[in-house]
Structure formats: structure tokens, C-alpha cells
Amino acid sequence: MAKMDAIIVGGGHNGLVAAAYLAKAGLKVLVLERRPIVGGACVTEEIHPGFRASTLAYTCGLFRPEIKADLDLVSFGLEEHPYDPSQFLPFPDRRFLLFRNDLAWNEKQIARFSGKDANAWAKYVRFWDEFGELVEPTLLAPPVSLADLASLVRTPEAEDFLRRIMLMSISDLLDDFFESEEVKASLATSAVAGTMAGPRTPGTAFVLGHHTLTEVGGLKGAWGWMRGGMGAISDAIARAARAFGAEIRTTSTVRRILVRKGRAVGVELADGTTVEGTAVLSNADPKRTLLGLVGEENLPPEFARAVARIRFESSSFKLNLALRELPDFNAIPGTTAQPHHKTIIDIAPSMDYLERAYDDAKRGRPSRDPFLEFAIESANDPTAAPPGMHTLTISAKFAPFDLAAGTWDTEADKFAERILDVLELYAPNIRRATIAMGSRSPLDMEREYGLTRGDVFHGAILPYQMFSFRPVPGWSSYRMPVKGLYLCGAGAHPGGGVIGAAGHNAAQAVLEDWQQLKAA
């Protein structure tokens, strides 16, 4: 095969974004994806004949609006909508919180739990708006250093703000604003999403901040749903990349990144064929890319040791259900579609509940009472299930990769039953409503989707692994110690989630280096 300008290992959404930008700039681009479909962790798959679910990532919002516009993704099929309402939390005593993207509405909801908390709501919202103003401009560029970030801090108030967002646990931060357990737990959910950390772990306030940097349909801070499920994002980017001239091959596993005289020169596929390239970008996670595909022998020893030490932990177990009827919640009864069915739903009744769920996991046990977050995609999206039928995609948090007893091959079905036991306490018809179910354990996520240790973010997004520390200190510019090799996935700045920024930023680094790369 003719030499390529850029080879991209992996067709996750970030690899596809990189491919689209490079092809748009006129480079000859080849994407090699090991799975039969593109998208990586951002996919829609059939879970039962006629039922399609977002089998891993399940809600959109983080994807950068600038990238949608640059690549004209709407014309390539991207159709997203903000959730309305924005979050539903049923509680064991049949009370509930139903949030909307509406300050006054939310104050009224919160007032049913605490008047003091309702009064604090506007101040809390302003706090995260300020976080967005500080961090959002850093997303579509190489990361700022800690020194640069600190230089912005000129007043005691700014210093205190930095302390709170970078160093505090979400539990301590929320105690500064609120008193109700239900209100605090409803907000803490995003602080431990995808992260093996309890709400009392320092740094979780930052994780929540990362999850506030959303925008759907022009609505800042909103999360939303995609017509066609999350895979429709990846498909739209792939269509754009192809339209700009990129070639995308699926069922093509890269076995090695070829290195000659300290420079990446191409790849070797699992079938033994090789493809030469001027630049190689890897969308696989940093450990898989550097320790696996490149090999320690091609890396400076100190760098290889740092990569080996990046904290990779699973935290999510997915259970996808095909349903004959909607969940009938004790808190708001009924199986005909109502607003609370159309949003993100959390089972997280208190801060202690969340901490206990994490306590189990840190000891190698799937949580006895797991924190559940789920979406009934079919309640919004008619393409998800046959008419009158539904899908439910559940993310059970705090599923450790290393189990104290058994393996995920022996424990997955037991954990799935435990999830249904918990769900049944809130929606008693759930087992009767289930036609079929299928799970994705952390081990499945590693084996089938290439996520090392089932880490959904290609490395924890706690602050000590963010900004100029991602993937490892000193190597945050997407350029790796092997010349011509770039990291373009969630393991690079600005980290995990369906954001597209790492793909964009890595492509810009290649374009900056292009004349030098061609000349070398």
C-alpha cells in the first residue's frame, strides 16, 4: 500500500476527529480500527433483535461545539437534544428530585428538601459557571502548566477558588453550600462518574467540574441525547472524515507501531501486513499505545516507568435491557411515558450510600448497593426500540477491575441480578418488563473495546493526572518521545468523555510539525 501521510490507530470518536481535521487539511489519512464498527466507547449496538442501545457511553454534552461547527457534523447526521427534564432522582421514601435546565424550577424542587439549600442554589450555579469560564478556554489547545494556571491567581478569593476546585472532595465542597443529603447526593453523582473514588476522596470536586463543561443545542451546562444513540456521534464524524478524503478500515488490528532510529515509520497489522506513514497517531490509551504497540525498548526508561504508573481503574459496569414496558417508579407511578422517563435517572439516595458503594469496590467487591445511573433512550429516540417497547441502559458505578473473589466471567451475571434487585426497590415492575439483557463488565470493556483495565477515561481524571500531567508530566503536547508519534485519545489533555478535543488538538500538533516531518 502507498505510504500514508498520517495513520491513525483506532477509530474511537477522538481518532475520527483527528482523521477529519487532517484529511480536511489535505493529508492522506488512514484510520485502522480493530472492531467491526467505529466509535470505541461511543457506539450504538443491537442488544436484542430490534433494540439498539448506547452500550458504553450513554449521554452527550461534552463534545466541543467548535468541532461540530468546523466539521459541519449536523450535515453529516448529528442530531442532539438537551434532556428536559435534566435529571431525576427517586428516593426510597417515594420523594424525588426532578431537575430542569431552569434556575427557578430547581430552587422550588430543592426547597421541598431544604429551604436553606434552595437559597444557596444560585450561588452554587455561579461557582461552576466561574469554573467553566476558567477551564473551558483551555480545552481546544495544549494544556496550560500548573505554573501558568497559578499565575492567574492574584487575589485571596481566586486562590481559595483554585483550592476548592483542585484539592477538595465533592463532599467537603457540597457541605459549604448545602445541608440536605438528597440534594448533596444528587449533585455528587457527576463527581464520581467514571472515577474509582468516593465522594470523600480529594480531587472529586474537579471531576464534577469536568462534567459541567457541557453544551447541547446551544444550552450551556446541559446534557442530552442523540438520535440514533451515542454511536450516531461517531458515525457523523466518520462520514465527515470520509467526505474530506480519509480512508477508514474496520476489523483492522494494529499489532505494532514500527519504530526506526527513534522515529515512528508506520504500523504492522495483525495479519502481518505493514503500512508506512509519515505520522502515526494513536487513539488507543497511553498504556496500550506506549507499553504495548511501541514497546518499552523504544522508549526512554524513565518515561516508560511513568506510563506504567498512570492510574488506570475501571469504575463502570453496563447493563443494557430490552423492555416491554417503561419502568413504573414508586415515586411517580405509571408506565406511559412521562417527563421523568426522558432524562438521566440516578439511584444515589445519600452521600453515605455513595461512599459505601465505593468502599466495597476499593476492597475488590462489586458494590452491594450500587450507585446506578441510567437512561431510557427509547423514551426520547424512536430508533432505539420497536414501537411501544423500550431500552434501558444502566451504568452501575464502582465495579473494580480486580476482584477479591472470582473473575468478571463468573461474577457479571450475579452483579447484574444485584443491579435489578436495587432497581426493583424503586421500580418494582423492572424484572417483569425485561425481555432481554446483556452486560459489559470492566473485563469485557478491556477485551472487546480495548479499554485497558476497563478505564472509561484512558486514565483517571483526578486533578493530578490532568492538564500538563496528562498522560505523564512533561509529555502533554500530544507528541511522544518517539518522533512522529502522537497520542490523540482520552489519555491526553483534556481527558475522558466524548469531547473530541484530544483528537482535535493532536491533529493541530501534527499540522504544526508537518513541514519538519515531511523533511525528515
Ligand X SMILES: Cc1cc2nc3c(=O)[nH]c(=O)nc-3n(C[C@H](O)[C@H](O)[C@H](O)COP(=O)(O)OP(=O)(O)OC[C@H]3O[C@@H](n4cnc5c(N)ncnc54)[C@H](O)[C@@H]3O)c2cc1C
Element containing residue 167 per DSSP (H, E):
helix 156-167
Q: Which stretch binds ligand X (CB under 6 A): 57-65, 133-141, 331-339, 384-392?
A: 57-65
Cβ 257 to ligand X shortest distance, Å: 9
Question: Treating both helix axes as pointing N-terminal to C-terminal, what angle do 231-243 and 13-24 enclose, rounded to 10 degrees?
Answer: 20
445 binds ligand X per the rule CB under 6 A? yes
Per DSSP bridges, beta strands 4-9 and 29-32 are parallel
Q: Which is nearer to ligand X, 101 or 195 (CB)?
A: 195
Considering the complex, what minimum distance in angstroms separates the CB of residue 427 from ligand X?
21
Contact indicator for 381, 414 with CB cutoff of 8 Å: no
From the list 254, 361, 392, 422, which residue makes contact with ligand X (rule: CB under 6 A)? 254
Residue 57: Cβ within 10 Å count: 28
Cα angle value 457/174/196 (rounded, 5°): 25
Measured CA to CA, the distance from residue 135 to residue 133 in angstroms comes to 6
| Under rule CB under 6 A, residue 457 binds ligand X | yes
Scanning 10-18, 101-109, 141-149, 384-392 for contacts with ligand X by CB under 6 A, the matching segment is 10-18
Residue 120 or residue 445: which is nearer to ligand X going by CB?
445
| Minimum distance from residue 211 beta carbon to ligand X (Å) | 8
39 beta partners: 12
Minimum Å distance from CB 265 to ligand X?
17
The helix (H) or strand (E) run that includes residue 485 is: strand 485-487
d(CA 489, CA 10) in angstroms, rounded, equals 9
CB of 317 to ligand X, least distance (A): 8
Asked if 14 is part of the footprint of ligand X (rule: CB under 6 A), the reply reads: yes
Tell whether residue 395 is a contact of ligand X (CB under 6 A): yes
Q: Which of residues 34 and 493 has its CB atom nearest to ligand X in the complex?
A: 34
208 near ligand X, rule: CB under 6 A: no
User: Is residue 9 at the binding interface for ligand X, with CB under 6 A as the rule?
Assistant: yes
Instruction: Tell me which of 353, 496, 504, 506 binds ligand X, using CB under 6 A.
Output: 496
Among 4, 56, 310, 472, binds ligand X (CB under 6 A): 56
Q: How far is the CB of 252 from ligand X (least distance, A)?
A: 6
- What is the DSSP code (8-state) at residue 339? G
Cα–Cα dist 232/26, whole Å: 25
Q: Which of residues 182-201 bind ligand X (CB under 6 A)?
A: 194
Tell whether residue 225 is a contact of ligand X (CB under 6 A). no
Residue 15 within binding range of ligand X, rule CB under 6 A: yes
Q: How far is the CB of 388 from ligand X (least distance, A)?
A: 26
Estimate to the nearest angstrom the gap between the alpha carbon of 128 and the chain centroid: 19
Q: Is 82 in the site for ligand X (CB under 6 A)?
A: no
Which one among 44, 298, 316, 476 touches ligand X, defined by CB under 6 A?
316
Q: Taking CB under 6 A as the rule, does residue 494 contact ligand X?
A: no
Q: How far is 192 from 463, CA to CA, in rounded Å?
A: 13
Give me the least distance between CB of 30 and ligand X, in Å please.
Answer: 11
Check binding of 348 to ligand X (CB under 6 A). Answer: no
Indicate whether 42 belongs to the interface with ligand X (CB under 6 A): yes
Residue 34 touching ligand X (CB under 6 A): yes
Largest CA distance in the chain: 69
- Interacting residues of 193 by C-beta distance below 8 A, sequence separation 6+: 207, 211, 373, 395, 397
Q: Output the smallest distance, CB 318 to ligand X, in A.
A: 5
Query: Which of 280, 297, 290 is CA-nearest to residue 312?
Result: 290
Is 489 among the residues that bind ligand X (CB under 6 A)? Answer: yes
Set of cell numbers at residue 455: 478505564
Residues 6+ apart with CB under 8 A from 192: 170, 198, 199, 204, 207, 315, 354, 358, 371, 397, 398
Q: How far apart are CA 281 and CA 294, in angstroms?
A: 12
Helix or strand (DSSP H, E) at 239: helix 231-243
Phi/psi of residue 300, nearest 5 degrees = -60, 135
Residue 11 is a binding residue for ligand X (CB under 6 A): yes
Q: Which of 7, 372, 498, 501 binds ligand X (CB under 6 A)?
A: 498
* Shortest Cβ 174–ligand X spacing (Å): 22
Q: Is position 253 an interface residue for ligand X (rule: CB under 6 A)?
A: yes
Asked if residue 341 binds ligand X (CB under 6 A), the reply is no
Burial 6-36 (b: 16+ CB within 10 A, else e): bbbbbbbbbbbbbbbbbbbbebbbbbbbbbe
In the complex, least distance from residue 348 CB atom to ligand X, rounded to whole angstroms: 16
| Selected binder of ligand X within 87, 204, 278, 283 (CB under 6 A) | 283
Tell me whether residue 46 or residue 148 sits nearer to ligand X (CB atom).
Answer: 46
Q: Interface residues with ligand X (CB under 6 A)? A: 9-15, 32-35, 40-42, 56-59, 62, 194, 253-254, 283-284, 288, 293, 316, 318, 395, 445, 449-451, 456-458, 489-490, 496-498
